[in-house]
Structure 1
Amino acid sequence: MDWLKEIVNKEIKKHRTNNPFEIADHKNIIIRYFPLGNTLGFYMKNVRQQVITINCDIDDYLMMFVCAHELGHAILHPNENTPFLHKNTLFSKAKIEREANEFAVNLLLYNKNMQDYETKFDVLRENGIPYEMERFL
């Protein structure tokens, strides 16, 4: 999706980084850490404050991807409440998750030369991106 890449590029140029933690900080998005069991993280907007919650029990590489994914929600879907959407509307929760995943992959791989890697899985592994995101390369 070209529009999504344009948004990623705009955010990176505006904040001069592709680090999701730094971008969230520049955008005054609160990041908090809690043990969440099997949940990796989630995004919510409470009143006017955007909050990303990340599972404190996951490794640093995965934490970077989770932050990038949730930042995707904060930028692309700032007012969406996914549990509400899932139960009460026809808007696709899967579409929102796909867009956030693609945002995260594009953000974390910004300015990476794919020729430097032998396989797609090397790209994913070395950048802390789950293998399931291979389709967004």
Structure 2
Amino acid sequence: MNWIMRTLDREIKKHRTNNPFEIAKNRNIIIRYFPLGQTLGFYMKNVRHQVITINSDIEDYLKKFVCAHELGHAILHKDENTPFLHKNTLFSKDKIEREANEFAVHLLLHGENLEDYETKFDVLRENGIPLEMERYIFF
């Protein structure tokens, strides 16, 4: 089991839920909604406050996935400034995004019996996860 899955399991056990909104609330992470155009959401930490911003104009099912993805950043990369890292260091922004996607998919699918579905796309569609995340599902 990789470090992301260990971290995810700890969070779910600690908060007794896989709901990203509840976990964020329990961790005192501020969630706010603004119209963001093409941006789905983002995570930032200023001083001591962690903030997840979600595009208020997207569908509700997608808000849950975006919250889970940004919660992944809040937990896995809580002190990272990704634009700074991307431009000025060797640490890949793409790697950070992949880790947050993996966290989000597995958080939302925690407890799901994947054998009940015929395809990966059925799993994604039924759980409100974008189809592009199929690479993070293993049967």
TM-score normalised by L of structure 1: 0.98
Residue 127 of structure 2 is matched in structure 1 by: 127
**1: CA distance, partners of 2:80 / 2:86:** 11
- AA aligned opposite 1:9: D
Instruction: Map residues 25-104 of structure 1 onto 2, 5 A cutoff.
Output: 25-104=25-104
Residue 24 of structure 1 is matched in structure 2 by: 24
Give the SS at the match of 2:21. Answer: helix
- AA aligned opposite 2:48: R
- Could you list the runs of 5+ residues in structure 1 that have no partner in the other structure? none
- Could you list the runs of 5+ residues in structure 2 that have no partner in the other structure? none
The percent of aligned pairs where both chains have the same amino acid is 79
Give the SS at the match of 2:128. Answer: coil
- AA aligned opposite 1:96: I
**1: CA distance, partners of 2:8 / 2:24:** 13
- AA aligned opposite 2:56: C
Runs of 4+ in structure 1 deviating by more than 3 angstroms, as ranges, are none
- AA aligned opposite 2:9: N
TM-score normalised by L of structure 2: 0.96
* Alpha-carbon RMSD: 0.8
**1: CA distance, partners of 2:100 / 2:4:** 10
Alignment length (residue pairs): 137
Q: Which moved more, 1:25-34 or 1:82-91?
A: 82-91
The superposition leaves residues 35-90 of structure 1 with CA deviations (integer Å, 9 ceiling, x where unpaired) of 00000000000001000000000011110000000000000000001111112111
**2: CA distance, partners of 1:86 / 1:6:** 26
**2: CA distance, partners of 1:7 / 1:122:** 26
Residue 2 (structure 1) shift: 2.0
